[in-house]
Amino acid sequence: MKSSKTAWGLLAPTLIILGLVGLLPFIYVLYVGFHDWMIFAKVSGLVWAGVDNYRELVFDEDFLAALGRGLRFTIWTVSIQMVLGLLLAHLLMKKFKGRGFFRAIHALPLTVAPLVVGATWRLLTIPGLGPLPFYLNKIGIDYNIGWSAQQAFFTTVLMHIWHWTPFVTLTFLAGLSALPKEPFEGAMVDGANQWQIFRYIFLPMLKPVILIALFLRIMDALRIVDEVWMLTGGGPGTATRYVGIHIWRVVFPMTNYGYGSAMSVLLLYFIIVVCWLLLTVITQAKREAGT
Query: DSSP string of 174-205?
Result: HHHHTS-SHHHHHHHHTT--HHHHIIIIIHHH
pLDDT at position 119: 93
CA atoms within 13 A on the CB side of 79: 6
Residues 14 and 105 in one domain: no
Number of structural domains in the chain: 2
Per-residue pLDDT of the chain (291 residues; tens, 9 = 90+): 556 777 777 778 888 888 888 788 888 888 988 988 877 666 667 888 888 898 898 889 999 999 999 999 999 999 999 999 999 988 888 887 877 888 888 889 999 999 999 999 999 999 888 899 999 988 888 999 989 999 999 999 999 999 999 999 999 988 888 888 777 777 777 777 777 777 777 787 888 888 888 888 998 999 899 999 999 999 898 999 999 899 888 888 778 888 889 998 988 888 888 878 877 876 776 676 554
Helices (H), the chain: 2-18, 24-32, 52-58, 61-92, 99-106, 114-125, 131-138, 149-177, 182-189, 194-197, 203-222, 226-231, 243-251, 257-290
Residues 19 and 37 in one domain: no
Contacts of 256 (CB under 8 A, 6+ apart): 37, 38, 250
pLDDT at position 43: 61
Residues 95 and 62 in one domain: yes
| Integer Cα distance of 222 and 272 in angstroms | 11
Residues 16 and 77 in one domain: no
pTM metric for this prediction: 0.86
Beta carbons of 89 and 176 less than 8 angstroms apart: yes
pLDDT at position 44: 64
Residues 167 and 279 in one domain: yes
Residues 112 and 194 in one domain: yes
Q: Which domain holds residue 209?
A: 33-290
Beta carbons of 69 and 157 less than 8 angstroms apart: no
Residues 12 and 153 in one domain: no
Residues 205 and 81 in one domain: yes
Say how far residue 42 (Cα) sits from the centre of its chain.
39
